[in-house]
Amino acid sequence: MTRRKIIGASLFFTLFGAMASLPPLILLFRFEGFVAGLPIATLFLFGLWVFLVAGAAWFGYALPRDEPHLPPGEDHR
């Protein structure tokens, strides 16, 4: 995957995370369901948080570091 595609995917990932945590989507999980004593909406938010943290870690690993741009003739020290 090229650097440009990874940057585009990271932007999409960020927008997906923002949209998934908005109240209209969270309200879809408003029914009276419980899993292991926890409401479904709470599990959705926690699962979303874990997914976003793992994705951010992957993007941090996949994206190479930017090298500083030095004028020609200067050493990198």
**Domain ranges (residues) in the chain:** 3-62
SS3 65: coil
**What's the Cα-to-Cα distance from 1 to each of 5, 8, 72, rounded to whole Å?**
6, 11, 30
pLDDT in tens, the chain (77 residues): 788 888 899 999 999 999 988 888 777 767 778 889 988 888 888 999 999 999 999 988 888 777 767 777 666 65
The pTM assigned to this predicted structure is: 0.71
- For residue 62, the 8-state DSSP code is H
Residue 75's Cβ-count burial label (10 Å; 0-12, 13-18, 19+) is: exposed
CA atoms within 13 A on the CB side of 31: 4
